[in-house]
Amino acid sequence: MLSVNFMQEAIQLSAQGIANNEGGPFGAVVVKNGVIIARGNNRVTSTNDPTAHAEVVAIRNACTYLGAFQLTGCEIYTSCEPCPMCLGAIYWARPDKVYYANTRYQAAAIGFDDHLIYEEINHLPPHRKIPFIHQPHAEALAVFEAWIQKTDKTKY
């Protein structure tokens, strides 16, 4: 399948998602070795899950399919430039490449404006619009120390 067909599949998923009232107009596929191994479309409103963006759904499905938590050797095709949450998920998943159709500016023009989040990332926690209050706790730190000492951990 040609890469244009992978993008077409992501776009088709975005169209199907809005036709089925599952969420916003976004779709994504994960490809490995020239084969689509996972699909996702935005399901925020149909699942009441603000994290059910197309890319996150596709990443979850791909990781389940592969039995792995990283997408090494994979490519993601998405109908729109990923939002900050999806961008974070993509970096954690570590695919080789990401292709996108619409831009974040085109998404903002139809009501999906992530500008506030991009701005908030640059602010230190005390200066964000939603208060982030640091509450140091010895037990929380002890868990981190236990992680450092753990010899049989799976690093990621």
Active-site residues, by number, are 55
The Cβ of residue 148 has, within 10 Å, a number of other Cβ atoms equal to: 7
Pairing of strands 74-80, 97-102: parallel
Collect all residues with Cβ–Cβ distance below 8 Å to 75 and sequence separation of at least 6. Answer: 6, 30, 31, 32, 95, 96, 97, 98, 99
Give the C-alpha separation, 81 to 84, whole Å: 10
Q: Residue 32 pairs with which residues in a beta bridge?
A: 35, 74
Buried b (16+ CB within 10 A) or exposed e, 93-113: bebeebbbbbebeebeeeebe
CA 93 to chain CA centroid, nearest Å? 9
